[in-house]
Structure 1
């Protein structure tokens, strides 16, 4: 070990590579921003990759590019940049944010001379879980020569010899930036390469990767960490042992992506959740679309009732910008798109029927060979009664409170699933189990203490808005 190395690379207890959010959750928010880093933590990251430039007065800034909105960062003092680019974070701010979110830091030094002030800030903030890296050998070696107490990495491009780069700089880690080197870059991280790194006492960090099949291979390797724009692919429910809880995401992971869109659906399944909850309504030409409200106004760029519009009229409406300009490309999904995505992931859907003819919806889902992989509910009691009359086998969810008693709920609907509020769980869940009905907890809040209790209960199913908070509570319990 290098004599001046005081703080080792952070490790997981189970030896799995750390999930390093590349410029935050940059697939879901503007890269390098506080929002991107917060989303990364929500989605299970353990370390944030941060690009560092310097202001004209030597303040380390968090930005991938040296120019933002036509403004060259190095030409202005930090105070001037506060006015010119009010959303531009500096390293001190991001250190504080990382501390609040329990994240380690991986600093990619972009500006010449940015190493020394960055180390000084880390030490001043008593940070013991950080790494500094550079593509520039001179910058990396300067850190070593100045007795950097944090691990130092060299970022290795495709075609470069990682061991020659390490020898030239005395770095502690080789960071292989080989994402574009092959269709299967995981094959380049050979047993021989790993053995040579271990013989030399070198750690390995891997490129930013967003291909699930490639990531599935990479997480099995004895490496320190893997960068990704999509931390949900590494940090979701699949990163912990099975809990026995089936997670139902209410309108998808809607605190990050816009509700009832394909983006929120993708995020739900990539995060390792089991069920996507969505709402369906009919258009003027009888198409079944995914939308919560009966009007277009709140969540799209359109206006008026969905029933007054054809599918063709809806196809170009922006269904994401209301949430954030980042999602401007999202459109109103057709139910067939949601089903296709669920089948692709081997997942399931909870369909809340707002207004679709019951026979039509049953026929549609059956035609897509998906009846066994979904359950239904409707705020309209008659729709539920009609669905049950039409099919004894379709999966229906109900709530005791909507019927006045458990016995009446069973008599009227014979539901397969019963939704239960937190306050009623300990009474109603055993009653449902006793009668062969699956209990599903519902909690749409965001109180961490409630999630601590839910983690103790380990409900069979839970319908929620904040799957990330449940995961955090489960991780804390397991730790």
Structure 2
């Protein structure tokens, strides 16, 4: 079953959740991008428009609802401390990565209210469910689920008259109906990720029919594999858990006016810019282009990095051109961004081309590279028709055109007296309009000239991003493609968050 008005009314959930999409349930928050079960992870999940956050609740020795998956916090904090045997004062003093702490449930509830998100609370210790229920009631937050693998703990909540939706988590190998042991719940949460490489195949038509016949909603295991997610899209599933909740809402271009999305330095708000990880996040969301910058190393290799200096993204005070590829790739290019990204490398252009081939194209900004060598590498990957180029050196741009007549080049509108001059400068097929410098009303001239238009924006404001739609550009080069994706492909999801936050 999917969410409908009957369900929403029954549990007093927001009516705006009737979007036609499975809920994105951020597993321990957006735990791929921040330490799990922390306020940082939950805030990022909200920014990525995950409707719910899955979190784990345990009781401290003095009765505080602590948000933590493990009883022993050693895995997260690097030192032994058991929630069940420690006071809240001791737990709150423990430092987690990236300046985080294990939060109290009250703090997470407060953030959920502020952001319009719901809570999917997994009960990890006895009596934590009852206290969590009490805190939810006290806060007035209705958009929540209480769940556990332990059927008796869920039964206790039912017997006490809990009016929140109740869920039972079903482990690998268990029959869902049998596992419930006669308990009347609202949701079965199938935790079958590791049962097989294709766990979706276990979700057979007969099983789905049986669950629906028992009036049970279905929530799916933590999942971030694209092939599995695609197989789940059209099934009657209430929600899917994921460490990467942005994957649950891939970009779907409007067939009435297709806009290709160009991701500036990759997903630079979720991963270190110009890295393979930053590109992978974009590919998995279905965006069409990754924008990147290319420079040349001391041993004449092409690497993906914006600055001439290595200092900002590696903390090494040296020039790219003075270091070999091996020396550059021995550096940590992720720790500057966040602790959890430590160890990411500066990729070669060869690596980036190999990664995106068959999935997306590249917008290559040439910072310092031999045009002939650059074209040879792109052509060796069979990617000439999937890439376009720009660099501030007009002589280099003309050289690219002379070397390869079929190369696709971009020209910034602001560098020329008119749109026409930008188009004819070196036969540019794409004209870029910078929202900070150019008149977007001139975009209409591109169609008359037979050129494609591209808006470039680093802005994040919702109204600003929405305003670009009226110009009908062919491409959008964005710092916040994940936000535009929600506006363009999931307007009802956008409306839900606008309504719940403003309301």
Query: Common fold, TM-score beyond 0.5?
Result: yes
Q: 2:83 aligns with which of 60, 73, 90?
A: 73
TM-score when normalising by structure 1: 0.93
CA offset at residue 456 of structure 1?
4.4
Residue 202 (structure 2) pairs with residue 188 (structure 1): yes
Please give the alpha-carbon distance, in whole angstroms, between the structure 2 residues aligned to 1:233 and 1:184. Answer: 17
SS state of the match for residue 183, structure 1?
Answer: coil
- The answer to whether the Cα contact below 8 Å between 1:62 and 1:88 also exists between their aligned partners in 2 is yes
Alignment of 1:122-137 (within 5 A): 122-137=136-151
Moved more, 403-412 or 126-135: 403-412
The equivalent of 1:59 in structure 2 is: 64
> How many residue pairs are counted as aligned between the two chains?
477
For residues 248-303 of structure 1, the C-alpha deviation after alignment (integer angstroms, 9 at most, x for no partner) is 11100101100000010001111221110000011111111101111111111433
- The answer to whether the Cα contact below 8 Å between 1:260 and 1:278 also exists between their aligned partners in 2 is yes
Residue 245 (structure 2) pairs with residue 245 (structure 1): no
RMSD: 2.4
Alignment of 1:309-328 (within 5 A): 309-328=323-342
- The answer to whether the Cα contact below 8 Å between 1:44 and 1:234 also exists between their aligned partners in 2 is no
Change (3 A) 1:448 1:333: same
The equivalent of 1:373 in structure 2 is: 386
- The answer to whether the Cα contact below 8 Å between 1:8 and 1:151 also exists between their aligned partners in 2 is no
Please give the alpha-carbon distance, in whole angstroms, between the structure 2 residues aligned to 1:434 and 1:280. Answer: 32
Alignment of 1:149-188 (within 5 A): 149-188=163-202
CA offset at residue 183 of structure 1?
2.2
Alignment of 1:76-475 (within 5 A): 76-85=86-95, 87-238=101-252, 244-345=258-359, 347-422=360-435, 424-474=438-488, 475=490
Change (3 A) 1:179 1:11: farther
SS state of the match for residue 311, structure 2?
Answer: coil
Q: 1:27 aligns with which of 15, 28, 32?
A: 32
Please give the alpha-carbon distance, in whole angstroms, between the structure 2 residues aligned to 1:160 and 1:408. Answer: 68
Change (3 A) 1:459 1:126: farther
Moved more, 349-358 or 204-213: 204-213
Please give the alpha-carbon distance, in whole angstroms, between the structure 1 residues aligned to 2:68 and 2:257. Answer: 38
Please give the alpha-carbon distance, in whole angstroms, between the structure 2 residues aligned to 1:7 and 1:198. Answer: 21
The equivalent of 1:38 in structure 2 is: 43
Task: Mark the runs of 5 or more structure 1 residues left unpaired by the alignment.
Answer: none
Please give the alpha-carbon distance, in whole angstroms, between the structure 1 residues aligned to 2:334 and 2:201. Answer: 38
- The answer to whether the Cα contact below 8 Å between 1:132 and 1:153 also exists between their aligned partners in 2 is yes
Change (3 A) 1:252 1:141: same
SS state of the match for residue 180, structure 1?
Answer: helix
Change (3 A) 1:378 1:239: closer
The equivalent of 1:50 in structure 2 is: 55
CA offset at residue 30 of structure 1?
1.4
Please give the alpha-carbon distance, in whole angstroms, between the structure 1 residues aligned to 2:94 and 2:367. Answer: 47
Please give the alpha-carbon distance, in whole angstroms, between the structure 1 residues aligned to 2:466 and 2:88. Answer: 41
TM-score when normalising by structure 2: 0.89
For residues 160-201 of structure 1, the C-alpha deviation after alignment (integer angstroms, 9 at most, x for no partner) is 221123243322211111111122211111111111112211
Alignment of 1:5-24 (within 5 A): 6-7=11-12, 12-24=17-29
Please give the alpha-carbon distance, in whole angstroms, between the structure 2 residues aligned to 1:241 and 1:152. Answer: 40
CA offset at residue 155 of structure 1?
0.6
Please give the alpha-carbon distance, in whole angstroms, between the structure 2 residues aligned to 1:116 and 1:198. Answer: 28
Change (3 A) 1:128 1:149: same
Moved more, 41-50 or 110-119: 41-50
Please give the alpha-carbon distance, in whole angstroms, between the structure 2 residues aligned to 1:44 and 1:58. Answer: 32
- The answer to whether the Cα contact below 8 Å between 1:445 and 1:466 also exists between their aligned partners in 2 is yes
Please give the alpha-carbon distance, in whole angstroms, between the structure 2 residues aligned to 1:373 and 1:257. Answer: 24
SS state of the match for residue 193, structure 2?
Answer: coil
